[in-house]
Structure 1
């Protein structure tokens, strides 16, 4: 594990050795997760591609805010200076997908990664789409995993936001010490039970996530404005965009993945840019790492692209 400062905020990341491929694979985790969830996939892909995984600001081992007031001011100035008319409102908060995408832009610049495919899970998929929009010269394509949407259902989203806030309130540090608490996380949001190791990691990430970042990302990524902006964002991207969905995903159902995918030219008339993984829930990279890695490799190598 290495640490790098992005706009004054220390971030934890892991970067595998360079390979003969001109493209790096950059993995963006989802809400209340961390970079470690990508390791089963990265272990299969790092032979052929340099792979970068990192903890989003406020999650895993990355800090949420700069260390001092000077750096906090610089962070705000940077968001303002790099915003455009299309993303101005999305950079007003430091916890919008566009703001996290700006972190990713800076990260790739600092690591001198000039050609990348972005692979994002759930919220990480939205961040990847925003990042592709912000740096079309560096991003060669996007692969969204268990990510979709673009339809704002007022009652459903209000309920989701309320439940999410209550969920975040029940996070005492001692929770991770409770015997067998990880058993609850072996089955949550997945089609088949996870190994205890990953369930334990889910408990840890749930507990250690910065309260402000956890709540901020929940609220700022689910506003009516943000949700309705997604289809337009996808339609404007010039790079190829693919979507991997779990057939049994109850968090982001396949029909919502297909809806967002349909706004990209690659969709054609029958969903050519959508790949459904059988017997899979919302954590495809842990439930079906071999399938996910295989699909990523095929896409990046140009099969069907």
Structure 2
């Protein structure tokens, strides 16, 4: 599927689409894009209504230099749904995209956020511009406060330095990596630098979330507001999003069903695409 673009109120949104009707809107994870959903979309009939969106700051969508919060993504998703004039949606999110989907459902229930994107605000009348999702499928969703995450990726910050010195150092290390048979590790580091420099959301998360109190937009206190039937899919061996995060979602959302896929890690949308495709197209039975 080719990448399409549409101009929203402020930003451009890039997406991939197949079929017509009430769509599954696929929301990718951190450092990802709409292309990550191809293994699952390929398991569905060619006319099955699907839209895979590049979130704000990713892929072909606009990449403004913001101090990113989940509310930026909710507003972006809301504008995208309105621009396509969709009247009903089933949100499917992986990791960061699962966080976006959950936050969108919370906002559709009446919660909103401060104008400076600093905190959730108490619920008011639901915003008519936010279409309440008919269903959620959250695959290893992020968005639960976990203070053990603080500092976990501090070692990556030097890769954000926009100086030729870092590239010179990496070039100097490359022969040594080959000599020590560490080509794969070196390639991973080099790829991480390339991706981090392209991804404003990643840069923002590494520089703006330095303490537990910076977790201003997590969703665990508000999960009870989600009215949509929700399928939560966890990877048994996922070390990025621990199982207890998924269990917190399942315990907090009134109509939630939790499925744990054996032997699955955080890349489960690639490794377990057939099982996930089956789950997201079946009724939720809490």
Give the TM-score range, shorter chain. Answer: 0.7 to 0.9
SS where residue 115 of structure 1 aligns? coil
Residues 15 and 182 from structure 1, CA distance in 2 versus in 1: closer, same or farther, beyond 3 angstroms?
Answer: farther
Choose which of 255, 258, 279 in structure 2 pairs with 1:295. 279
Pair 1:7 & 2:9 matched: yes
Distance 2:41 2:186 in 1: 23
Distance 1:159 1:95 in 2: 18
Choose which of 239, 248, 260 in structure 1 pairs with 2:228. 239
Corresponding position of 1:116: 89
Pair 1:159 & 2:136 matched: no
Distance 1:57 1:228 in 2: 16
Residues 152 and 213 from structure 1, CA distance in 2 versus in 1: closer, same or farther, beyond 3 angstroms?
Answer: closer
Pair 1:256 & 2:245 matched: yes
Kept in 1, the 8 Å contact 2:13–2:55? The answer is yes
Pair 1:215 & 2:203 matched: yes
Residues 9 and 148 from structure 1, CA distance in 2 versus in 1: closer, same or farther, beyond 3 angstroms?
Answer: closer
Distance 1:16 1:143 in 2: 19
TM-score, normalised via structure 1 length: 0.70
- Report deviation, 1:292: 1.0
SS where residue 244 of structure 1 aligns? strand
SS where residue 262 of structure 1 aligns? helix
- Report deviation, 1:132: 1.6
SS where residue 160 of structure 1 aligns? coil
Corresponding position of 1:304: 285
Residues 125 and 168 from structure 1, CA distance in 2 versus in 1: closer, same or farther, beyond 3 angstroms?
Answer: farther
Distance 1:282 1:51 in 2: 22
Pair 1:60 & 2:65 matched: no
Choose which of 248, 252, 267 in structure 2 pairs with 1:283. 267
Distance 1:182 1:114 in 2: 49
Choose which of 97, 100, 103 in structure 2 pairs with 1:127. 100
- Report deviation, 1:103: 0.1
- Report deviation, 1:45: 2.4
After alignment, is 120-129 or 144-153 more displaced?
144-153
Q: Deviations over 1:57-91 (max 9, x none)?
A: 2222222129xxxxxxxxxxxxxxxxxxxxxxxxx
Distance 1:204 1:42 in 2: 29
Larger Rg: 2
Corresponding position of 1:274: 258
Q: Deviations over 1:169-188 (max 9, x none)?
A: 5997898xx899995599x8
